[in-house]
Structure 1
Amino acid sequence: MENEHANNPLHGITLKKIVEDLVAFYGFDTLAELININCFKKDPSVKSSLTFLRKTEWARKQVEQLYIKTLPKL
């Protein structure tokens, strides 16, 4: 059972933590430049971003990939 998650760097990390960490590191302006989605551009907030990302798989995957790339810097 443990081996199933051994290669998943996001195991145990919530979407909320991912968004909060990325906002703290980059800010919404830079996030909007890195990932072209409106929840980071127009009236951004963690709450509105979470709502959108939970409904939109392609956007969530882009955010997760950015988090994985950024993880060593956090």
Structure 2
Amino acid sequence: MDGAYVYILKCADGSYYAGTARDGLQRRVDEHNAGSFGGYTALRRPVALVFSQWFERVTDAIAAERQIKGWSRAKRKL
């Protein structure tokens, strides 16, 4: 699998987090909810998936993630 998902999570505190997942989207969401890697979402659990999009190329997913991270909170809210 060469592609990846870009995704947006809504955190328990109402904030939003954007990331990419290469090894399965649900697995990555589960890792966020388990606090597996610490970081932003670890203290804002549970999280819920609110958006995802598949990209054939990982580089395209990373570019989309960077673009989303530049959006305002209102725009991420969709």
Using the size of structure 1 for normalisation, the TM-score is 0.30
From the two aligned structures, give the one with the greater strand fraction.
2
Using the size of structure 2 for normalisation, the TM-score is 0.29
User: Which has the higher relative contact order, 1 or 2, with Cα contacts under 8 A spaced 6 or more apart?
Assistant: 2
Bigger Rg, structure 1 or 2: 1
